[in-house]
Structure 1
């Protein structure tokens, strides 16, 4: 009889529902007892009739048939009552599920968190993700699921701490589901007089996917860096990586990988991971564009295939009026749309576009794709490291040339001193 469902109904905190459920159970128990008593009587009759005459056996057979018919009727009544009980349980479960869905959609999880000591970090928040902290150091990100309209959260400190407002409460207050319902009912039953009104209006969220929300949560745990052994080994000086152009554009994770975040119009959408002999892109992330910081006085826009090439290009041709973008490899449709907007905006302010892709067939193919995205009247040129595959190789070669030149000068200096 679906014991778990019956137990759930008995534990229901709604008194009328509990009383109705107990009455149904009593009716079922009564019906079952009647059936048991009838069966016991039949067994007794059979035992008593064993030594009777044929006539008595015929009478017993008729009696069995009579009792059998009674059992059939009793079985019908039991089934009918049980069916009604199951239907009531089904309606109860549907009502409970509708209530839970209402909690997840109608209660702004950010408002509830603020009512429990959290505050919004507006500098870190974006259009599709609110960042909140509490005095104890807990840091969460709240989003709005575009598929079902549920508010959801994830903790920066614990990747297992995530879910809906139900999970948020259970993970922090250790309440069972019935207690959670009691906690949240005032939030939906009294919309004109909510339990909490934030001092400032909570920013509206643009719906996003859980995958994007997970990327943003992971990114919140990364640390900004100005130098890294990997960058140093690839010839990138601290002066370059700490240049205002690149401040806040290079990060590291808990495994000491270099992180280059990709962004779109809504913020961070994925990130590249780099280290010695290691190259990857965030799982379930989407390629956007890695971008340097910009200025209203910028006159040149440089497009490279990798962030490392952008840093190398800047170190080779240092310029305070150049902005850099990297695609992270071949162009996706999303990246083409983003670059088309960037090109149009830069062209309208009279700037020039420099295509600094790799010196190979793939780089040449990308050059044509980029030219097709730019306005027909745009000033666009291609620059390649002619003796090398990409700009980082060119930088490493230039560093080696300078070292050899310095050694040569030292040797000549030692010779003259003699």
Structure 2
């Protein structure tokens, strides 16, 4: 007997929703419709992925279907019960049940009824990945279970171009430690620290990793470790990945709270600031460990609220400069602006984020302005489509970037935002500006994919070029090996920006062997007028030296041209 037949005997008319939830597990339904269990991601909270739709979900309370909830990886707006799971996937995974002319909830229950009719043998197969004992399958985190030591001098961070001065800086001193792993060569498996300690006679092969502690803001206890090495990128078993974050050392009065995806990015960001001469201890760095959950956002907000801050403090969202990083920006912004403009998740087609805009007269001005920003963004895309000149591939690609503005039930408006950097970035920026939160929250991106890549590029450029001209944002505007060319570049920038009422700052930096920069010249323009222009004596001396060398080189060429050409004697041929 199928589960549907069993329930129909108890409920001849309509099966109540609580009974549907209690008898259909999200895990079972997902497996039935093509999701695969990613066993290496853990068992206490199973992770499943649909290869066709690129949809990855995390299951909480896997053993109790009635209490089971899910969350889409990297998108806490797509979460909830099995009802939410189906509703949010009617356009994709469950499209066969998606009948637009039919009430949405009817479509959802049709999916559940269909699964209840599945053969019990198949149901049993789908159920196999559910952990049988949550308590034993989930290891409780305890710092004492790991061999933690002071950071070794020769460590993995150095291979990622992180300078020892940054590791020992006020922000990161003591925040990176060594974690030793023990490989038993007889079994080929890594054994725990306590096991290795209890068996000193075994000839273990030791591996040293770099570990970063994670905290939840509710206690001073370490809640987990992020562990890194050349071939290792994971959290220690039992770590609280969903609530906890890495936090750097806290200055007396923080001015900036910088949120990033990894501790390595945070260190690289600090180093890129330091090489340009900015060594101020005024920032707190957070890392979310390559993900972002609603709980982590709450933890960061809790830290920011509790700390004594400078008057002009800001939260800087510096996630990676890719689609995932921009999605994190939008997720974070949605949650922070919710007191003024609460948006809700809604059904959207594949590769789009659905935002349900709040109703009511109080939210009307922001709602209409946001819709206007979306339409303005679409008009820009449409103009690009018109200029594609018959290039169908480009036109199709551009069309997929349009933000869909949908009206639900003839009143509530939803935005279906493409998961592209430009579209998500535009909505994040609009939400911050229209709600007034832009004064406290700023989205900043690396010039490369992330700050580790930017640091790597910087290190390569310091070996290739002697001089670099940087703007007020710290970005490199020009690179050269000539002091004369560098000086002329500054003069050109001065002419370019004077008279246009702009505020610009440029620095001319000399590369040092260790990757640090030494300032050689400084140009500051306010309201189109030069207020400061300074050249260091050593730079002036280098310019004069180059001019002298060039002059001598030219004179040498001129002299060689004016000298009479020595005629080679031609041997005479003796008569025979």
TM-score by length of 1: 0.45
| TM-score normalized with structure 2 length | 0.33
Normalized per residue, which structure has more helix?
1
More strand per residue: 2
